[in-house]
Every structure is written in structure tokens, then in C-alpha cells.
Amino acid sequence: MAEPNRIEARFTKLREQGRKAFIAFTTAGYPNLGAYPLLLEKLPAAGVDLIEIGVPFSDPMADGPAIQAANNQALREGITLAKILDMVRDFRTKDNETPIVLMGYYNPIYSYGPMRFLDDAQKAGVDGFIVPDLPPEEDEEFRVPAAARGLRVIRLVTPTTDAERLPTVLKDASGFLYYVSITGITGSASAEAANVKTNIDAIRAQSDLPIAIGFGVNTPAQAQEMAALADGVIIGSAIVKRISAHLDDYGKPSATMLDDALTFVGDLAKAVHG
């Protein structure tokens, strides 16, 4: 096993404190290139334990309308993978502990050049990646060189991952496990606690990795309910929607956007932390 990185350090610390992790997803460059770093910088103080940065893609197949729209706007604003790494580098000058995971589709990474990207991401201070269109069957070419650089490729477990398949997903998993609580796209439905519990228990029986629940969690009440079932809760679409409510027809944010988004993030954090 490689050196522990910020992800393991954070989950270990939270476990010692008996706390659950609140993982906030936001779309890089959304609502614009100027506002995003300000949001990013304030997430830890608002109670975010692990930051998930969405890397915009023209064709976000696993995402619902809210994140699709955020992707499009961020791309129009001119976001690129290189700019996202710059934002992480700046963030690291102020915060060297909060883990950062980039979540994005494989093509922009492939286009950048996976090895060069891994080198640059490591130098910028990224800790891991969630690549939804890179299942275990295809992730070796990225996962192995990532691990060699101390970076984690987070595996996803879903309601369709049956008992026969689960070992395939857990083998070579690292960092934490992302439990996708619904069968659907981001922000579409809400998870059913009873179903989630059964599946989380099945994963627990076979893995010691921390488990975070995401995709179907939209409100503080749901966040609280899900936190009781796992080691962490991931919330994305709800935050993105909160930001989008502040945009005018031209995508320009209101003056209160940042404060309101952070207040909402704070409420979610409180719900997760209990």
C-alpha cells in the first residue's frame, strides 16, 4: 500500500473523532472563473471535509439537468483542465489538509495525456479522482500510474453492483468507496434509506474502506439520514442548484450568491456532522 495521502488522513481523523465526512461537489468554473475560487476557498470553513471538484465536460452522460447546465456555463466561461489545476494550486497555498478529488469524464484527461495530467495534478495538490466512465474493466491504465504517484482512483459501487460483481469493484479500490445511492443520473431522485442500508452492509462485510453515499442526497434532512448509514455523504446537485438560483438570464450571479451558497453548505455540513 502506498503512503497515506490527505484522503486517508482525513477519514482517519474523522473516525477518531467519531464524525462523518461531508463531501461537497461543485462544478469548477461555475458560475464563472472569478467566483469559483472564492467559493472553493471558503468550503472548509463552512464545514466541508473533502472537496470534490467537478471537471466540466461537453457530454456529461451520468449527470442530470442541473450539473449539465453548470458544465455548459463553465465551459462557456472558458474553464479548462489546466485552469482547474491552477485553482487547486492556489487553494493549496492556503489549505494543505483538506483532500481534493477531481470528478470528471475520461475524455478531457485522455486528451490532456493521462501521464502528464497525473504529474501535473499531483504537483498541484490533487489527491484523487472519480472518473464515472472508467469502470474497473477499463481503469487500469489510469489507476496504476495514479497509485504510483500517491493518488487514488475512487471506485463507485451502485445498486446494480450485485454480489457476484462486488469483489471486482472492491479489488484495487482505494481512498474511499463512492456508493451511488440511486439508479439514475445526478440530482434526479432521492435515495431510500432502507435499500441503501442493505447495500452498505453488504459492502462493509467485504471492505474496510470508508464509504460515502452520493447521487440521491438533496436536503439537510436526507443528509442526516444518510450520514447515519455510512462514513460520509456527498452532495452536489443541490449545491449547484442553489448557486443557479442566483443567476440571471445571462448567467451572472447576484451579489448574495456566494454567502447564500456557503450558508446552504453550512446547513448541509451541520446535518451530516450531527
Partner 1 sequence: MQNTDEDNASLRAVPDDKGHFGPYGGRYVAETLMPLILELEKAYNEAKADPAFQLELDDYLKHYVGRPSPLYYAPRLTEHFGGAKIYLKREELNHTGAHKINHCMGQILLAKRMGKKRIIAETGAGQHGVATATVAALFNLPCVVYMGELDIERQRPNVFRMRLLGAEVRPVKSGSRSLKDAMNEALRDWVSHIDDTYYIIGTVGGPHPYPAMVRDFQSIIGRETRQQLMEAEGRTPDSLVACVGGGSNAMGLFHEFLDDPSVAIHAVEAAGHGIATGMHAAALTGGRAGILHGMRSYFLQNEDGQIQEAHSISAGLDYPGVGPEHAWLHDNGRVSYVAVTDDEALDAFQLCSKLEGIIPALEPSHALAYVGKIAPSLPRDHLMVVNLSGRGDKDIFTVAERLGVQI
- Residues recognised as catalytic: 52, 63
Of 32, 80, 122, 190, the residue at the interface with partner 1 (CB under 8 A) is 80
DSSP letter (8 states) at residue 251? S
Residue 19 in grid coordinates = 464524525
Residue 165 CB, nearest distance to partner 1 (Å)? 6
DSSP state of 98: S
CB atoms within 10 A of CB 151: 24
Distance, in Å, from the CA atom of 110 to the CA atom of 129, rounded to the nearest integer, reads 13
| Residues in a beta bridge with 234 | 23
The answer to whether 9 contacts partner 1 (rule: CB under 8 A) is no
The answer to whether the CB of 29 falls within 8 A of the CB of 198 is no
**By three-state DSSP, how is residue 80 classified?**
coil
Q: To the nearest 10°, report the CA torsion of 226, 228, 14, 166.
A: -70
At closest approach, how far in Å is the CB of 185 from partner 1? 5
CA gap 244, 264 in Å, rounded: 13
Site for partner 1 in 184-223 (CB under 8 A): 184-185, 188
**74-96 burial, b if ≥16 CB within 10 A, otherwise e?**
bbebebbbebbbebbeebbeeee
Q: Report in angstroms the alpha-carbon separations of 173 from 15, 129, 136, 212, 262.
A: 19, 12, 9, 13, 32
CB closer to partner 1 out of 224 and 244: 244
Q: Which is nearer to partner 1, 86 or 95 (CB)?
A: 86
Query: Which residues are bridge partners to 157 per DSSP?
Result: 179
Least distance (Å) between residue 138 CB and partner 1: 5
For residue 71, the minimal CB distance to partner 1 (Å) is: 10
Could you count the other beta carbons within 10 Å of the beta carbon of residue 2? Answer: 13
The residue (of 202 and 258) whose beta carbon lies closer to partner 1 is 202
Provide, rounded to whole angstroms, the least separation between the CB of residue 56 and partner 1: 8
Q: What is the CA radius of gyration of the chain?
A: 17
- Subset of 28-57 contacting partner 1 (CB under 8 A): 57
Cβ-based nearer residue to partner 1, 75 or 258: 75
Name the residue nearer to partner 1 (CB basis): 110 or 122: 110
Contact flags string 94-113 toward partner 1, x per CB under 8 A:
-----------xxxxxxxx-
- Which residue, 196 or 268, is less far from partner 1 as judged by CB? 196
Minimum distance of partner 1 from residue 107's CB (angstroms): 5
Binding mask 160-189 for partner 1 (x = CB under 8 A): xxx--x---x----------x--xxx--x-
Among 31, 99, 128, 132, binds partner 1 (CB under 8 A): 132
The binding site for partner 1 (CB under 8 A) comprises 57-62, 64-65, 68, 72, 75, 80-81, 105-112, 132-138, 155-162, 165, 169, 180, 183-185, 188
